[in-house]
Every structure is written in C-alpha cells, then in structure tokens.
Amino acid sequence: MNIFFDVDYTLITWDVKLRPGVHEVFTKLREQGHTIYLWSGVGPRWEVVRRFELHEHVANCYWKPLYNHHARLDELGIEVMPDFVVDDHLEIVEAFPGTQIKEPAMPLDTDTEMWRVYDTIQAFLATRTLSGA
C-alpha cells in the first residue's frame, strides 16, 4: 500500500521531537512491501526527513490537500493514490482510508501510538484480504 503520514503531531511533537517507534514501524512496514510518504499542510517536510534520518524509509514528501482532498491530488503533484493515511486530524482520515493518531503523549517515552497504528494497518490489510480487495 501507499501509506501517507502527516508530520506535525503525527510523527513529531510540537517542539520537534520524533515520537517513539517511527523508525521501527517504518522499517516493518517497508519490510512488508509498503511505500511510505509524508505530507503536510505546510509543505513537503524534507527538513524532518533529514533531521531524523528517515531517508531510507520515505519515498517522497508532498503538500497535503486541506480541502477537495481527492480532486487536488493531481494539482499537488501526488502521483500515487493514498491507500492508507495516518493523521492527527480526523478530516483527512474521513477523506481516505486510514486512522487518526493521538498527538504524542507526555512523557514521550510512554507514547505507544506508532505501534497501535502498525496494528491498525495490519487489521486493515486483513480485512482487505478477506473481502478479496
């Protein structure tokens, strides 16, 4: 699947710390053959990819459509269909299949949301397999 992750409050905290499990979960998803993209309402976030050394995991970074989500994919240069999205905003999760992620819990080392997201993706895949999709 093409899995799209939001950046702010999804992968990083308000003070630009990486939430726990990002490298581990990205590694596992890629081992399963998924392709990982980042998108953000404030633009492609290559600075986050660089800062946290996510290059090996992230295929591309895009602007995230904040309205007319499907119609604007083309205009924003998004050449692949998001099959699953992970976002702290419900709106984007209502526009595409996906899961809403809670903003990082404090203290940060107690935050387990990335693992919950991983499990949710596995459950989503199992459902698709059962339905023959």
How many residues at the interface with Mg ion, by CB under 5 A?
A: 5
Of the residues 1, 4, 5, 6, which one makes contact with Mg ion according to CB under 5 A: 6
Long-range contacts of 95-101 (CB under 8 A, 24+ apart): 95/69, 95/70, 96/4, 96/69, 97/124, 98/4, 99/124, 101/6, 101/9, 101/10
39 and 6 Cβ atoms separated by less than 8 Å = yes
Interacting span for Mg ion (CB under 5 A) from 28-36, 87-95, 107-115, 116-124: 87-95
Quote the least distance from Cβ 39 to Mg ion, whole Å.
10
9 binds Mg ion (CB under 5 A): yes
111 binds Mg ion (CB under 5 A): no
Distance CA 46, CA 89 (A): 21
* Sheet arrangement for strand 98-100: 58-63, 35-40, 2-5, 84-87, 98-100
Of the residues 8, 83, 111, 113, which one makes contact with Mg ion according to CB under 5 A: 8
Of the residues 83, 88, 111, 113, which one makes contact with Mg ion according to CB under 5 A: 88
Interacting span for Mg ion (CB under 5 A) from 24-32, 82-90, 91-99, 121-129: 82-90
Which chain residues interact with Mg ion by CB under 5 A? 6, 8-10, 88
